[in-house]
Amino acid sequence: MTMMTSNTPFTSERSVVLGALHRALHWIERQLETPAQTRLRARTARIEALRLLSDDQLAARGMTRDTITAHVFAEPPLRLNR
C-alpha cells in the first residue's frame, strides 16, 4: 500500500486556499480592530523589539530589561491614522 505524500496536488491546492482564507480573515480582523486594540498591538510590538536589543543597546537608550514595559507604556499613545 502506498502512502500519500504532502506533495499531492490536493494538498498543494488546499494549502493555497487555506493561506488565502487566513489572509482574508486577518484583513477583516484588522478592519474591525478598535483604536485601543491597535495601540496595544503597537506597544506589544515595541516591547518585543526592545527585548531583542542587547543590554548595552538598552543602556544607550537609558533603559534596563526591567524598565522596558514601564518605558513603553510611559510614552504618549501613538497617533494612528486609519
What is the per-residue pLDDT across 45-55, written as a single tens digit (0 to 9) for each?
999 999 999 99
Distance of CA 18 to the CA centre of its chain: 20
Delimit the domains of the chain by residue range: 9-74
Return the pLDDT at 51. 96
**The Cα angle at residue 40 between residues 37 and 44, in degrees rounded to 5:** 140
pLDDT top residue among 10 and 65: 65
Amino acid (1-letter code) at residue 66: D
Return the pLDDT at 4. 53
On whether the CB atoms of residues 36 and 78 are closer than 8 A, the answer is: no
Question: In 32-67, where does DSSP find H-type helix?
Answer: 35-51, 55-60
Reported as a single tens digit per residue, the pLDDT across 26-68 is: 889 888 888 888 889 999 999 999 999 999 999 999 999 999 9
What single-letter DSSP state applies at residue 32?
A: T
**Contacts (Cβ under 8 Å, ≥6 apart) of 71:** 50, 63
